[in-house]
Amino acid sequence: MLELTVNLDERSYPIYIGPGIFEAGVNLLDYIKTRRPVVVTNETVAPLYLDLLLNKLAPCEPLHIVLPDGEQYKTLEYFEKVSAFLLENNCGRDTCLIALGGGVIGDLTGFVAACYQRGVPFIQIPTTLLSQVDSSVGGKTAVNHPLGKNMIGAFYQPDLVLIDTNSLITLPEREFAAGMAEVIKYGLIYDTELFAYLEQHVEQIKDQSTEHLQHIIFRCCQIKALIVAEDETEQGQRALLNLGHTFGHAIEAQMGYGNWLHGEAVAAGMVMASKLSYQRGKLSNVELQRIINLLIAYDLPTLFPQEMGLDVFVKHMKKDKKNKLGTIRFILPKNFGQCELVSDVTEAELEDLISSNAG
């Protein structure tokens, strides 16, 4: 089992990573200071892990709520459903919420925890690769709105993140690939050795070798923990974690949440950001091709939907959370391991990019 800490002074918390630790290795009861923790999960994950978790929590008389599975359910409607469940069961401020599932469950549960009675403890048990390497760490919680992804939320840190790599065995191949988009992102924005590792071990990672999975998950969490400790509420460096997301969120919003998985949209968005950087003379053609080739190797899309034109992208990107004073700001790679936030991208540049990239 590997362990690291997100250092936020009195709000610091541990991350545990390893195979089988969901069943044994970490005593969840040590992190729960309530008589009735509440597990929030979905219809896909519940048959696999809910009974096991409830048995571990049995001394605390746990409650649970099972939601539909999918990005389209990360909404205020389901925020209200979970909140109502807590109220109906007379849950107090000492209630601990436990998010058992992927990024949707983690984001939604965390946002409920941030708001219910002005804040209750919560624990993340992520079961998808994307949530294990990214969304479960750092305290970003939110729900989607029809006009924009993750537009209603809060920064609210968990008390514990428990990552069992064995949970990935049941993950569909498409979901696993979507998670690899975020892993590749970390290599591109921060760690050239990680990027090279991903190039060198494609088959072992796709075959879910425990050693290789632990390595990439630990490194991604380590990078994110360092960045979050420096910039918890995304006032500066943390914004670089959004490489590919400005374009990717536009794809998700336009195509309908869930039709393109988040990681798929981020993959296409990373290619767009990288091509824009290439157009500006920052990335070389060799570097651009390495990025594209690695995404292809992990079965990820490198082209955005053909029906999306400049007007569609701009409409959605105007709502991006990085914008300031009405100016759309982009995260662009300067080279492997380094990105920059720019605000001077012209409409002509975007037109050239979109006309050359549609598929």
Binding-site annotation: residue ranges for NAD(+): 69-74, 103-107, 127-128, 140, 149
**Which residue is catalytic, options 242, 275, 282, 290?**
242
What tokens were used for 156? 């609210």
**Which residue is catalytic, options 64, 144, 150, 182?**
182
SS3 40: strand
Rounded CA gap, 245 and 13, in Å? 26
Q: Which residues are annotated as a binding site for Zn(2+)?
A: 182, 245, 262
Q: How far is CA 288 from CA 185, 245, 351, in A?
A: 13, 18, 19
Q: Is 245 a catalytic residue?
A: yes
**Which residue is catalytic, options 64, 185, 215, 234?**
234
Beta bridge partners of 99: 40, 124
Q: Is 275 a catalytic residue?
A: no
**Which residue is catalytic, options 64, 212, 262, 275?**
262
Main-chain dihedrals φ then ψ at residue 7, nearest 5 degrees: -90, 105
- In one-letter notation, the amino acid at residue 89 is N
Q: How far is CA 40 from CA 28, 76, 127, 341, in A?
A: 15, 15, 13, 36
**Which residue is catalytic, options 185, 215, 219, 249?**
249
**Which residue is catalytic, options 64, 219, 224, 275?**
224
Rounded CA gap, 327 and 345, in Å? 9
Q: Is 238 a catalytic residue?
A: yes
Q: Is 262 a catalytic residue?
A: yes
Report the 3 state secondary structure along 22-45.
CCCCCCHHHHCCCCCCEEEEECCC
The answer to whether the CB of 322 falls within 8 A of the CB of 242 is: yes
Rounded CA gap, 40 and 130, in Å? 18
All residues at 6 or more sequence positions from 31 whose CB lies less than 8 Å from its CB, including other chains: 96, 123, 159, 160
All residues at 6 or more sequence positions from 309 whose CB lies less than 8 Å from its CB, including other chains: 354
**Cα radius of gyration (the chain):** 20
Q: Is 234 a catalytic residue?
A: yes
The answer to whether the CB of 53 falls within 8 A of the CB of 118 is: no
**Which residue is catalytic, options 212, 215, 245, 290?**
245
Give me the helix-helix angle, 173-189 and 262-279, nearest 10°: 30
**Which residue is catalytic, options 27, 90, 118, 173?**
118
Q: Is 182 a catalytic residue?
A: yes
Beta bridge partners of 46: none
Rounded CA gap, 177 and 180, in Å? 5
**Which residue is catalytic, options 212, 219, 238, 329?**
238
Q: Is 201 a catalytic residue?
A: no
Residue 145: name the closest of 79, 232, 100 by CA. Answer: 79
SS3 101: strand
Q: Which residues are annotated as a binding site?
A: 69-74, 103-107, 127-128, 140, 149, 182, 245, 262
- Catalytic residue numbers, as ranges: 118, 140, 182, 224, 234, 238, 242, 245, 249, 262
